[in-house]
Structure 1
Amino acid sequence: MTTPYQAPTAPWPDGAGPGGYTSPIPVTPTGLGNALRSEWTKIRTVRSTMWTLGVLLVLVIGIGLLVAGVMSGTSDLSPQPALSAGFFGVLLGSLCVITLGVLVVTSEYGTGMMRTTLTACPSRSRMLTAKALVFCAVAFVTTTVAAAVVALADSALLTGGNGAGAVPAPPMCATPGAQQVSCGHGQALGGMLAPTTDQWLRATVGIGLYVALLGLLSLAVGTMLRHSAGAITTMLGLVLLPLILALFMAGNSLEPVRNALIEYCVPNGIATLYDNAFMSTGPQGWDPLWILLAVTAVALGGAYAVLDKRDV
């Protein structure tokens, strides 16, 4: 005859009862540092990051050197900033950063990984802040290094190695008639203009910050739309559509709109940082960077607001 089971009445070992159990695993409060380490692990271990950043480096450095090589072999070019040869590579490379910025968020929604992320980090604002900081740092460092390599090569190929120490002489700035006029920022050497210190900073650090902000804007748009294809299409439209529309606006009545679209489009912002703006009017110097910073701040504010109100 079996004896019926009786629950133990003696206290649990070490005085730990059902209501006073102490886990041997140390429990520590989490913060932004933990979220940063988590996002860094995710962004460096997925293949999309390596592919997009690899293509970015190929486009920025490869096209930049190719354009500089072509310009160095052409003797009938009008004087222009030597570092502007990096414009085409950066413009195409920025599309890679835009794509990666969107995928940093939307890929987790697509795979359902966002549920796990928010379970591990219930604070949604902390999660988005960590994503933004890690991605912005990666995009800035990668773009700045690539732009610096191209800038050094362009300076060596197009100005014979003369750099920021050259004595300033009138460089060329674009006018509405596509002619070049003197405005005093560099030294003409062999048809090109030796860069000044400010031009060096804008062509390296400035370009890195501008492209990183474009990626951060893409991250904000991806957070609000939560759809990879839709967010990427939206960002490509914001980057390319204003200039395309301006090219098809003929007639004097549309001239103010056409000029505004050209002056404030992203390609002209990049060209302005290279001191080779499409038009003599509009933002100059570091202005495109501050404009994009304001737009990105507004978009990030919207992303934080939407993220807190939506379900996963």
Structure 2
Amino acid sequence: MNGWRLLRAEWTKARTVASTGWLVAGTVLTTVALGGAVAGATHCPSGGCGGDPVRTSLTGVQLGQIAVVVLAVLLVGTEYGTGTIQVTLAAAPRRGAVLAAKAAVLGALVAAAGAVAVVASLLLGRVLLPGSTLPGGATLLRAAGGSVLYLVLVGLLALGIAVAVRHSAAAIGVVLGVLYLLPVVAGAVGDPHWQRHLVQVAPMSAGLAVQVTVGAADLPIGPWSGLAVLAGWAAAALLAGALLFRLRDA
């Protein structure tokens, strides 16, 4: 099966699963809802809200990523759970190509949902944070585009772990643990030096640095460097998943 037909096959499988549409919609709704709730709860004196209105508006990405993780895991876990992965590999024996097609379909779905969620969150933030001025140009584009890319990378991280684990519930638990527990551990560390290093290597705290538009120079890690850390986690997960996918029986 050539690359184009393989992409079409993976896209057909993804769109015909009922959970896909719900999870894509859930990514948008949860992201916008939490961002709006945080922005609405932010106290804004007459002179403006201060702080970082972009980061505040995009807070919902931290919740929306859960739907992305579940979507990514189910793209693999559903096939293993039903046994249809054997049919997939019989039709397309090149396992690397199968994984690449799944990653491409997932990336497109998450990028589309993420773009809608980020734009809607920023527009809602402008309404709910009166007096605040959003930065323009490259800074706003970096925060917005970087947030979409963050969600895509989280999805690829989850996809790689799902292929390696081959069990939906376990894979979701591992990914959410990696994302949410490492920042908690960093916060519990008393040594500022080690706390800073943990923040620099944790995929969520490092990756979300891309949203910062005020005081970026004071962060433990720069915006693009933080996103590169998350990209490294995603690449490692996909590499491990691809290796195990190739070595193990379906």
TM-score, length-normalised on structure 1? 0.73
Q: Which structure has more RCO (C-alpha within 8 Å, separation ≥ 6)?
A: 2
Higher strand share: 1
Which of 32, 36, 48 lines up with 2:19 in the alignment? 48
Deviations 1:23-56 (A, max 9, x none): xxxxxxx301111001111111111212222221
Residue matched to 2:86: 115
Distance 1:245 1:82 in 2: 27
Distance 1:72 1:78 in 2: 7
Say if 1:115 and 1:305 are closer, same or farther in 2 by CA, change over 3 A: same
The more displaced of 43-52 and 265-274 is 265-274
Structural RMSD (CA): 2.3
Is the 1:39–1:131 contact (alpha carbons within 8 Å) kept by the matching residues of 2? yes
* Structure 1 runs, 4 residues or longer, greater than 4 Å off: 72-78, 276-279
Which of 289, 293, 309 lines up with 2:227 in the alignment? 289
Distance 1:116 1:142 in 2: 29
Deviations 1:135-191 (A, max 9, x none): 1111111111110111123234436xxxxxxxxxxxxxxxxxxxxxxxxxxxxxx4x
Bigger Cα Rg: 1
How far apart are 1:264 and its partner, in Å? 3.3
Distance 2:162 2:40 in 1: 38
Which of 36, 40, 62 lines up with 1:65 in the alignment? 36
How far apart are 1:258 and its partner, in Å? 1.8
Is the 1:263–1:279 contact (alpha carbons within 8 Å) kept by the matching residues of 2? no
Is the 1:269–1:277 contact (alpha carbons within 8 Å) kept by the matching residues of 2? no
Distance 1:70 1:77 in 2: 14
Q: 1:54-203 counterparts in 2 under 5 A? A: 54-71=25-42, 73=44, 79-158=50-129, 190=131, 192-203=132-143
Equivalent pairs, count = 249
Could you tell me which runs of 5 or more consecutive residues in structure 1 were left unpaired when the two chains were aligned.
1-29, 160-189
Residue matched to 1:272: 209
How far apart are 1:65 and its partner, in Å? 2.0
TM-score, length-normalised on structure 2? 0.90
Say if 1:262 and 1:279 are closer, same or farther in 2 by CA, change over 3 A: farther
Is the 2:150–2:208 contact (alpha carbons within 8 Å) kept by the matching residues of 1? no
SS in 1 for 2:60: helix
Higher helix share: 2
Distance 2:59 2:219 in 1: 21
